[in-house]
Amino acid sequence: MKLWQRWTRLIAAFVGLVVAGQGARVCGQAPSRFYLKNGDRVVFYGDSITDQRLYTTFVEDYVVTRFPDLNVTFVHSGWGGDRVTGGGGGPIDVRLRRDVIAYKPTVMTIMLGMNDAGYRAFDRALFDTYSQGYEHILDTVRSALPGIRLTLIQPSPYDDVTRPPNFEGGYNAVLIRYGEWVKELGERGHLLVVDMNSPLVRTLECAEKSDPDGAKQILPDRVHPRAGGHLVMAEALLKGWEAPALVSWVAMDAAGPRLVSAQNTRVSDLQADDQGWSWTQSDRALPMPLDMADPTVKLALQCSDFVQALDQETLKITGLKGERYKLQIDGEPVGEFTRQRLEEGVNLATFSTPMEKQAASVHALTVKHNDIHFACWRNLQVPLAGEPLPHLGRALDDLDRLENDVIEERRGAAAPRPHHYQLIAE
């Protein structure tokens, strides 16, 4: 066993003794090798799939809710129709200078290829343009921003699962070939590479078996995923960044009653009475805001390991005498559980709770700040560039400040809050 592992176990044992002896105590954020660091500036770069601002906002939501004290900023710079040579937003060097380098990012993700491959069987000339153009992007960015950390994303899939391919082999096989080259490029340059294609294809295959009509809605035009598809793509990127699953973990022994262990939360005022148990819990993170009313999200969660891999908010209670219990948080009913279910552990991230509602308010602010940035960039900065408008610069600066106001509001919305828990025997 390595020295740091010994120290980790000794510290954990000490914390456990303190918890057992004194009841309510804090366990800090679980050790994490998460890719993003305090002060990072992230630019998401790509074509229309990035321009949808869905997988990108899901990733942003995760970071803000899971690490509310982490100061990381995000810029969404996708443009529909883009190739490695550029597109509607201008030639590639204009795009990179204006939409990436100007923000001085420390982290950049790149996902291109859907348009580059031409929606046809493999074409060597198109592939050569892609490979040369992709390397030009990397050279340009690294020259302007030494030390930038790059995440290369293999092209997301074209849906050849829920509909028959348009030609022999199908277009997604072409995209996979492009993605294999991206992986080789990353390996040569010691860059992080993320595969969004395979996980989403597996999700489509699973969904096709259980709900063929619903499966078609995950990528309704075969190219642009709806929210459920983007959630799977966000999971792939977060896994590549070694994102932890932990929201919080609480284990209690009702026979005491006593707190057995806690991670990433503070538990206090644990009490027992004739009806059951109550306590105050202050988690240091929020669960992911997941819109279960969206059928594509619901289906994607059923056909992926998103919750298991990234969204664990566990409550585990042993020593119970009764057979069934009601859980309330802040007086709101959460669910009814058997003794066995509570002993196994309940993942509260999958229930409607005050914490889930708080996370949803964070997501709403994520969308707002990105809407402001998009309006500033796409409706003013780009189309009015070069116009003799003396107040344009001031207007852009004011919109930047407005966006920052929303980001600060979101920081407050994501701040941890204490909640009162009640477990009531039926």
Structural domain boundaries of the chain? 13-32+245-426, 41-240
- Cα 154 to Cα 151: distance, rounded to the nearest angstrom: 10
DSSP β-bridge partners for residue 359: none
User: Where do we find the tokens 């409607």?
Assistant: 352
- Cα 2 to Cα 123: distance, rounded to the nearest angstrom: 51
Angle between helices 55-66 and 227-240 (to 10 degrees): 50
- Cα 370 to Cα 410: distance, rounded to the nearest angstrom: 12
- Cα 306 to Cα 2: distance, rounded to the nearest angstrom: 31
Question: Can you give the length of the chain in residues?
Answer: 426
With beta carbons less than 8 A apart as the criterion, state whether 99 and 77 touch: yes
DSSP β-bridge partners for residue 195: 154
With beta carbons less than 8 A apart as the criterion, state whether 49 and 237 touch: no
Strand 258-263 with 312-318, pairing: unpaired
Q: Could you name the CATH architecture of 41-240?
A: 3-Layer(aba) Sandwich (3.40)
* CA 75 and chain centroid, separation: 15
DSSP β-bridge partners for residue 76: 44
Strand 107-111 with 90-91, pairing: unpaired
Task: Note the pLDDT of residue 32.
Answer: 63
Burial of 34 from C-beta contacts in 10 A (0-12 / 13-18 / 19+): middle
Dihedral in degrees, nearest 10, Cα atoms 391, 393, 398, 403: 140
Dihedral in degrees, nearest 10, Cα atoms 303, 306, 311, 317: 40
- Cα 50 to Cα 65: distance, rounded to the nearest angstrom: 21
Dihedral in degrees, nearest 10, Cα atoms 407, 409, 413, 416: 80
> Over its length of 426 residues, how does the chain's per-residue pLDDT go in tens digits?
433 333 333 333 333 333 333 333 334 343 469 999 999 999 999 999 999 999 999 999 999 999 999 999 999 999 999 999 999 999 999 999 999 999 999 999 999 999 999 999 999 999 999 999 999 999 999 999 999 999 999 999 999 999 999 999 999 999 999 999 999 999 999 999 999 999 999 999 999 999 999 999 999 999 999 999 999 999 999 999 999 999 999 999 998 889 999 999 999 999 987 778 999 999 999 999 999 999 999 999 999 999 999 999 999 999 999 999 999 999 999 999 999 999 999 999 999 999 999 999 999 999 999 999 999 999 999 999 999 999 999 999 999 999 999 999 999 999 999 999 999 998
- Cα 93 to Cα 141: distance, rounded to the nearest angstrom: 10
Using alpha carbons, select from 311, 350, 351 the residue that is nearest to residue 332: 351
